[in-house]
């Protein structure tokens, strides 16, 4: 908890709640079925207007899912009010919306080891194909499969899990989208493979395509063996290299210090 906020609090349904708990009806669909949509954003310079905070993209993500599910949109002014209040205390906000339009905003700190991971990379393991994400176009409160995949990896002292399909193609990690470098260009899995269209993914694609070729292709077992460097990205961690991927047939090694990451870091620092 930030020194500015010694008392735990969150924003719910238009009110600031000073508590570590949230009271919901026992028949609330958000509680029973994970019937919420959410987005997680990193706040830069305590400002929702900062280009890298990218508030509008996160709001549009929520709106897209709410319209797709025919759910009520939250009161935009009230949602913004709650986000701005928590922005003064937390660098990360998680904004959830219930089917009836209730908004719930929580805050947290950046991972303490984030700089270490960004500089030196993490290890990952392939998850079981059964841990596929439902409704991959949307970030819903039913995140059980990704949570199970990452939890299984962490029990083995491995930081991340890579979700795969029934053919063994790599899709995304439990928390982010994949990028890789080989043959002089960037690669990232196709959205049509059933992965989340991440906001940081979109930002990086738009930038990298201006610099050099970028290929959106299935990450087959043959392709990943050719990769020189790989990483995962999301709006909180930005981009984190993966140095080792453990497979049933043996581990793959990648260069977490590859020069390909320098351009991405310069792009992020410039925003």
Contact 223, 174 (CB under 8 A): no
pTM: 0.93
Are the C-beta atoms of 189 and 171 separated by less than 8 Å? yes
Q: Facing residues of 268 across strands?
A: none
Average pLDDT for residues 144-156, to the nearest whole number?
Answer: 95
Q: 4-11 long-range contacts, Cβ below 8 Å, gap at least 24?
A: 4/88, 4/89, 5/89, 5/90, 5/107, 10/86, 10/104, 10/105, 10/106, 10/107, 11/82, 11/83, 11/85, 11/86, 11/103, 11/104, 11/105, 11/106
**pLDDT of residue 1 exceeding 60:** no
Q: What is the mean pLDDT of the chain?
A: 94
pLDDT digits (tens, 9 = 90+) for 253-267: 999 999 999 988 888
Task: Identify the pLDDT of residue 169.
Answer: 97
**Does the pLDDT at position 3 exceed 80?**
no
CB 17 within 8 A of CB 112: no
Q: How many percent of the chain have pLDDT more than 70?
A: 97
Domains of the chain and any CATH numbers: 10-108 (3.30.470.10), 114-270 (3.20.10.10)
**Confidence (pLDDT) at 270:** 67
Q: For residue 133, give every residue at least 6 positions away whose Cβ sits within 8 Å of its Cβ, in sequence order, or none.
A: 143, 145, 146, 163, 194, 195, 196
**Which band of pLDDT confidence, cut at 50, 70 and 90, is reported for residue 42?**
very high
């Amino acid at each position: 908890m930030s020194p500015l906020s010694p008392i735990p609090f969150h924003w719910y349904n238009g009110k600031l709640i000073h508590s570590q708990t949230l009271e919901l009806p026992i028949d609330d669909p958000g509680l029973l079925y994970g019937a919420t949509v959410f987005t997680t954003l990193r706040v830069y310079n305590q400002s929702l207007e900062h280009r890298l905070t990218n508030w509008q993209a996160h709001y549009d993500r929520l709106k897209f899912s709410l319209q797709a599910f025919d759910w009520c949109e939250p009161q935009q002014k009230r949602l913004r009010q709650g986000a701005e209040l928590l922005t003064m205390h937390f660098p990360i906000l998680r904004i959830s919306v219930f089917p009836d339009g209730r908004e719930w905003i929580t805050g947290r700190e950046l991972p303490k080891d984030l700089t270490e991971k960004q500089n030196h990379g993490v290890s990952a393991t392939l998850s079981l194909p059964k841990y596929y994400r439902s409704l991959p176009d949307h970030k819903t409160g039913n995140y059980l499969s990704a949570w199970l995949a990452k939890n299984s990896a962490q029990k083995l002292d491995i930081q991340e899990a890579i979700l795969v399909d029934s053919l063994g193609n790599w899709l995304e990690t439990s928390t982010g989208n994949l990028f890789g470098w080989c043959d002089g260009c960037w690669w990232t899995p196709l959205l049509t493979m059933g992965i989340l269209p991440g906001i940081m993914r979109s930002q990086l694609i738009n930038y990298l395509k201006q610099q050099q070729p970028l290929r959106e292709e299935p990450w087959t077992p043959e392709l990943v063996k050719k990769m020189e460097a790989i990483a995962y990205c999301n709006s909180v961690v930005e981009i984190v290299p993966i140095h080792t991927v453990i497979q049933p047939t043996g581990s793959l090694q990648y260069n977490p210090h590859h020069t390909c990451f320098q351009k991405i870091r310069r792009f992020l620092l410039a925003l």
